[in-house]
Amino acid sequence: MAGAHSVRVAVAQMTSINDLAANFATCSRLVKEAASAGAKLLCFPENFSYVGDKDADNIKIAEPLDGPIMQGYCSLARESSMWLSLGGFQEKGSDDARLCNTHVLLDDAGNIRSTYRKIHFPVGRLDPTVCYDLRFPELYQQLRFQHEAQVLLVPSAFSKVTSQVHWEILLRARAIETQCYVIAAAQAGKHNDKTESYGDSLIIDPWGTVVGRLPGENWLIIPNISQ
């Protein structure tokens, strides 16, 4: 198309565990790899910073967005001069028994630019969602046709059984019906004795074609997205 430009996008796939420091080290390494490859946006999966062995663990480590956990990721974005999509952060809720599963977008200066709100980025207009939202097509149609989204972000930690049947089909459907790019960063592998995620991170173009796929763990796919 006339005036089209390409932006390099990276998708991270990882196996988060119940160790904040270990997960941050993994994310730091992936940020450095993506920056070296020229990526301008790196998308992490849901629960990138922590996966607890039980729900109480997630509540225990939850922090506000201005706490030290998120500020560490802000520093990563700033030091790498790269936007980060951080899907599924355990944000402290209204009381000690509650938390929010918050998708945070950081700009390349390390500023929080969106928490589940639309935003404009050089890739186009980005709209973040989280995991289970994928099953509600009306949400994505609203983002596309009312908020003019061009890229839909779907960080996830889908279970292995469900994903084998539904994951790719739902993602491709959302891309086709909205005519948007869909970027789906996924958790992969066994987090603990009870929890295992499917993986298969995908980037899908507006025609529903898979233009990037990541079946393994802790690697990156970096296609150019044209707008």
Hey, which residues are catalytic here? 46, 118, 131
Contact 20, 50 (CB under 8 A): yes
Residue 132 contacts residue 155 (beta carbons within 8 Å): no
Distance, in Å, from the CA atom of 148 to the CA atom of 146, rounded to the nearest integer, reads 6
Distance CA 12, CA 214 (A): 9
Q: Is 176 helix (H, G, I), strand (E, B) or coil?
A: helix
Name residue, tokens 């390349």. 108
Q: What angle do CA 88, 115, 119 make, to 5 degrees?
A: 120
Q: Which helix (H) or strand (E) holds 121?
A: strand 119-121
